[in-house]
Amino acid sequence: MEYIRHYVANLFSDIFKDHKKKLQPKEMADIEKETGFTENQIERLYSRFVSLDKGNYGFLTREDFMRIPELAINPIGDLIISSFFPERSNSITFPQFLHVLVHFQQIGNRNGEGLTSRMKKLRFAFNVFDQSCDGYITKDELLSVLQMMVGSFVDEKEISDVAERIMLEADADRERGLSFDKFCNALAKTDVEKKLSIKFLD
Ligand SMILES: [Ca+2]
């Protein structure tokens, strides 16, 4: 999972610039409760949301995300952007935006057992790989993410061998692929909480 951390690190630095804009107290209280972000964090994230929302629609599109330079040039930028969007949707609202960002939050979240839990992070990582959203990571899906990450620097055969070994070691089902349970088992010894966290607010 080290590569996930590597590729998403700093991705969101551009999102968290300060802007002045207020949310309604009721909206603020609801969002605080749901996500565990502090009022100050939510205000800053809201300002960033508004500034990314070029059309002033009240939601963000994939095109809005592509204007974040770190995402536009990221080899798995498309996958990361897709993970923000509910299935078949091309827009996300501010609360949805926060629910995804919470996965990148390591500390400073009062709701430690909630959305930032290890399980949620594993689920997020799993979904990045499971591009068909069928609940299994096939060797081809794993391969395509690996290929995007290493580009043309590594021999295709070599990447394919790596993918094969990962599937084997994780004890993936030959037909369907790697289930979420097996995925979690394979990562049981890694500190996913730390590796999938990005310090995006001070
Ligand atoms: Ca799949």
Q: Where are the domains of the chain?
A: 2-195
Q: Which two tokens stand for residue 170?
A: 């994780």
CA 124 to ligand 1 center in whole angstroms: 14
Q: Largest Cα–Cα distance in the chain? A: 56
pLDDT given at position 19: 37
Collapsing DSSP states into helix, strand and coil, what is residue 171? coil
Could you please state the CATH topology (level 3) that the domain comprising 2-195 is classified under: Recoverin; domain 1 (1.10.238)
Buried b (16+ CB within 10 A) or exposed e, 92-116: bebebbbbebbbbbeeebebeeebb
CA 134 to ligand 1 center in whole angstroms: 5
CB 139 within 8 A of CB 177: yes
CA neighbours closer than 13 Å in the CB half-sphere of residue 150: 16
Cα 91–44–36 angle (5° rounding)? 80
pLDDT given at position 189: 65
Average pLDDT across each block of 10 residues of the chain; the chain has 202 residues. List them in order: 48 41 76 83 86 88 83 73 78 86 57 57 82 92 81 76 87 92 80 50 39
CA 17 to ligand 1 center in whole angstroms: 36
CA 10 to ligand 1 center in whole angstroms: 28
CA 181 to ligand 1 center in whole angstroms: 14
Phi-psi domain of 136 (left: phi exceeds 0; alpha: psi -120 through 50; beta: other): beta
CA 79 to ligand 1 center in whole angstroms: 13
CA 99 to ligand 1 center in whole angstroms: 23
Cα 44–47–51 angle (5° rounding)? 140
pLDDT given at position 4: 53
CA 177 to ligand 1 center in whole angstroms: 8
| Ligand 1 ion local residues (Cβ < 5 A) | 130, 132, 134, 136
CA 116 to ligand 1 center in whole angstroms: 24
Distance of CA 197 to the CA centre of its chain: 10
Cα 128–132–133 angle (5° rounding)? 70
CA 137 to ligand 1 center in whole angstroms: 4
Whole-angstrom distance, CA of residue 184 vs CA of residue 193:
12
Collapsing DSSP states into helix, strand and coil, what is residue 173? strand
